[in-house]
Amino acid sequence: AQTVTQSQPEMSVQEAETVTLSCTYDTSESDYYLFWYKQPPSRQMILVIRQEAYKQQNATENRFSVNFQKAAKSFSLKISDSQLGDAAMYFCAYRRGGGAQKLVFGQGTRLTINP
Amino acid sequence: DTAVSQTPKYLVTQMGNDKSIKCEQNLGHDTMYWYKQDSKKFLKIMFSYNNKELIINETVPNRFSPKSPDKAHLNLHINSLELGDSAVYFCASSQEASRETQYFGPGTRLLVL
């Protein structure tokens, strides 16, 4: 079974600084997708970024980028120029390829932004 | 223009009661999901429907019964509620044929007293 591990229960960063959240996963599949979701106090699950396993290029969305190391099964999220609105729980998630697959989530990392 | 909506947002009830949570998506997606987030924030799949057909059923007590009247709706009915059912329940949808991202509803916080 696939597993996703986030080893940092909590992280904090100064506003305007850069922070990296870690995620590792375990799978024997070659076709899969990885995601980072953000859950602010409003509890809405918001997609931050998505990476297809077949793509070598790391995904980027504005201030958010990933470091996808396929051989090491590592998928970290880098947030640049941290803003107060980035404070939230961040979840790493894995999805197998193929139709109608579930998301497997990590335990989450609570990110605090210090003004 | 809400994409995935859930009702109610909050539900407080007594042990032993039966309750339902409704989910609707207006994204034209063909697949819908129910996830449960426990008190430690851990998210786990419960069910998935594709074109009204149940395709994922993850070791969930049979007190939980999903129903999909059409592709845009997926409801969750819970019988004989127990204290351990207290959680946040999220509905999500995606277009699986094109392996799209899953988009989540706002969640329903269920508290069983």
* Contact flag A35-B103 (C-beta cutoff 8 Å): no
Nearest-Cα distance to chain B for A46, in Å, is 7
As a whole number, mean pLDDT of residues A86-101 equals 90
Residue B98 confidence class, pLDDT cut points 50, 70, 90: low
* Contact flag A103-B43 (C-beta cutoff 8 Å): yes
Structure tokens at A72: 């090491």
* Contact flag A102-B48 (C-beta cutoff 8 Å): yes
Q: Rounded to a whole number, what is the largest CA-CA distance in chain B?
A: 42
pLDDT at B76 over 80: yes
How do B64-70 and B53-57 pair as beta strands? unpaired
Q: What is the pLDDT of residue A109?
A: 98
pLDDT at B99 over 90: no
CA–CA distances in Å: residue A22 to residues A10, A61, A77, B102: 11, 17, 7, 22
Q: What is the pLDDT of residue A9?
A: 96
As a whole number, mean pLDDT of residues B49-60 equals 86
Q: What is the pLDDT of residue A37?
A: 97
- Average of per-residue pLDDT values in chain B: 92
CA dihedral A9, A12, A13, A15 (to 10 degrees): 120
As a whole number, mean pLDDT of residues B33-48 equals 95
> E-strand spans in chain A?
3-5, 10-14, 19-21, 24-26, 32-39, 46-52, 60-61, 64-69, 74-79, 88-96, 104-105, 109-114
pLDDT at B100 over 80: no
pLDDT at A110 over 80: yes
- In terms of pLDDT, which residue wins out, A105 or A97? A105
B41 vs A contacts (CB less than 8 Å): 39, 89, 107-108
Cα–Cα dist B11/A5, whole Å: 31
CA–CA distances in Å: residue B30 to residues A22, A55, A108: 32, 26, 28
Q: What is the pLDDT of residue A97?
A: 85
> Which of B31, B35, B88 lies nearest to residue A100, judging by beta carbons?
B31
At A98-107, the pLDDT tens digits run 777 899 999 9
Residues 13-72 of A with CB under 8 A from B: 33, 35, 37, 39, 42-47, 50
At A69-79, the pLDDT tens digits run 999 999 999 99
As a whole number, mean pLDDT of residues A27-46 equals 94
Cα–Cα dist B88/B107, whole Å: 6
* Sign of the torsion angle spanned by Cα atoms B86, B87, B88, B93: negative
